[in-house]
Amino acid sequence: MSTQNQKVAIVTGASQGIGAGVVEAYRKLGYGVVATSRTIAPADDADIVTVQGDIADPATAERVVAAAIERFGRIDTLVNNAGVFVAKPFTDYTADDYAAVLGINMTGFFRITQLAIGHMLTQGGGHIVNVTTSLVDNADARVPSALASLTKGGLQSATKSLAIEYATRGIRANAVSPGTIKTPMHPEETHMGLAALHPVGRMGEVSDIVDAVVFLENAPFVTGEILHVDGGMSAGH
């Protein structure tokens, strides 16, 4: 059960894939966790609070942060994992595509991070981890992804900005920049083609990204870092 000194993490996009793995990792570290997604189910673990909601709606962010404070009384880490990826030629994107991608990838990040940092400042410290994509740094003609670059690229730049803005106030901000990871987002029949996008010749595993998040959590001298976990994608082809 939780104690007054127990650290607390919020994880968005937490119902499956990377998010679910991150929730499990923080529990192993002894953290209380508030996990949110549109479809998340109640948890058996008393130290995991689940909140259903669309992170693109600022009201969801407010409910998630309120749940963390009500249940645990603090917020030590926010992992902005929720994201959507739509690969289309630029001129094929629709207004609905644009609204959906910006809503989850940017609006979803914005409000919950504002609220979390507010509490972290009161506590005297905290940690923000943003999950981006290596396509931001290494565009690939085989994967047209301008909306991902627009939104996750903005998130990557914001990571550095937040790191510097709060460097003297005990709050760190870092990002993990994955390649293509084996999650339910990618049907198995696509795996061979997706593996070929990576210089190492394979897709990443959820554990690869979880390990990177845990590394950043345990690295107090690291802030403003964009940690590429991408099988060499960001280095070249």
The CATH code that applies to domain 8-235 is: 3.40.50.720
Predicted local confidence at residue 3, as pLDDT? 55
The model's pTM: 0.95
Q: In the 8-state DSSP scheme, what is residue 204?
A: B
Predicted local confidence at residue 203, as pLDDT? 83
SS3 assignment, position 181: strand
Max Cα distance, the chain (Å): 53
From the CB of residue 161, how many other CB atoms can be counted at a distance below 10 Å?
A: 12
139 is written with which tokens?
């565009």
Per-residue model confidence as pLDDT tens for the chain (237 residues): 445 689 999 999 999 999 999 999 999 999 999 999 999 999 999 999 999 999 999 999 999 999 999 999 999 999 999 999 998 999 999 999 999 999 999 999 999 999 999 999 999 999 999 999 998 888 888 888 899 999 999 999 999 999 999 999 999 999 999 988 888 777 787 888 888 888 898 888 999 999 999 999 999 999 999 999 999 998 887
Q: Report the candidate in 52, 4, 47 with the shortest Cα–Cα distance to residue 29.
A: 47
- The answer to whether 52 touches 40, Cβ cutoff 8 Å, is yes
State the DSSP string of 98-129: HHHHHIIIIIHHHHHHHHHHHHHHHHT-EEEE
Separation of alpha carbons 222 and 237, rounded Å = 28
